């Protein structure tokens, strides 16, 4: 009886160790970053096409292009960190890897829309400030002209 109890405990201990090893191995595999690919040429082509259809002025095109260039790398870095990925250029990968080009394009489009909204709000604020300044100037000019009007005898 004692011997069979030791065998049962031994089997349970081995089973527990086996489960622990399997869970540890699974955790190790999950903690390694996966490989993803990103098609920079496609994103740049899509960006230029969209910008051309937007009929932007030279200044607006310059502003949008600079913002795009400033935001692409941080967007890729944030996405890689969040998704636990190593991102490689699609043209450098012969096969395999999850293609994240569309996800990054969507994030960049969202950021560009938000940036455009902020620029419009700033422009509206500046326009309102200029209009108020003009109104104040006209008011002061009218008051000044009324105060300095020659009086009729």
Query: Does residue 43 lie within any of the structural domains?
Result: yes
Look up residue 125 and give its two tokens.
């604020």
Q: Rounded to whole angstroms, how far apart are CA atoms 84 and 63?
A: 32
Q: What share of the chain is helix, strand, coil (3-state, %, to 5)?
A: 80, 10, 15
Give per-residue pLDDT as tens, 29-66.
Answer: 556 788 888 888 998 888 888 877 877 778 878 888 88
> Range of 62's domain?
32-145
Residue 77: the pLDDT is: 92
- Is residue 153 one of the residues assigned to a domain? no
Q: Is residue 21, in this structure, part of any structural domain at all?
A: no
Asked if residue 58 is part of any domain, the answer here is yes
* 3-state secondary structure (DSSP) of residue 100: coil
User: What is the distance between the alpha carbons of residues 116 and 64, in angstroms, rounded to a whole number?
Assistant: 8
The predicted model scores a pTM of 0.59
* % of the chain at pLDDT higher than 90: 8
pLDDT at 74: 92
Query: What is the number of domains present in the chain?
Result: 1
Mean pLDDT of the chain, nearest integer: 78
24-50 as b/e: b if 16+ CB within 10 A? eeeeeeeeeeeebbbbeeebeebbeee
Residue 50 is assigned to a structural domain of this protein: yes
Report the 3 state secondary structure along 59-81: HHHHHHHHHHHHHHHHHHHHHHH
b (16+ CB within 10 A) / e for 109-143: eebbeebeeeeeeeeeeeeeeeeeeeeeeeeeeee
In a domain, 53, yes or no: yes
């Amino acid at each position: 009886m004692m011997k069979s109890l030791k065998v049962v405990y031994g089997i349970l201990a081995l089973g527990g160790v086996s489960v622990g090893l399997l869970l540890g191995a699974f955790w190790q595999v999950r903690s390694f970053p996966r490989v993803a690919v990103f098609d920079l040429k496609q994103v740049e082509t899509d960006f230029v096409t969209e910008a051309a259809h937007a009929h932007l002025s030279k200044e607006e095109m310059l502003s949008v292009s600079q913002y795009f260039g400033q935001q692409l790398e941080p967007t890729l870095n944030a996405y890689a960190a969040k998704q636990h990925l190593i991102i490689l250029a699609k043209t450098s990968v012969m096969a395999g890897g999850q293609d994240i080009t569309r996800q990054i394009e969507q994030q960049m489009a969202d950021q560009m829309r938000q940036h455009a909204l902020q620029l419009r709000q700033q422009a509206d604020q500046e326009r309102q400030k200029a209009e108020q300044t003009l109104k104040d100037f006209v008011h002061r000019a009218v008051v000044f002209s009324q105060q300095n009007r020659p009086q009729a005898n």
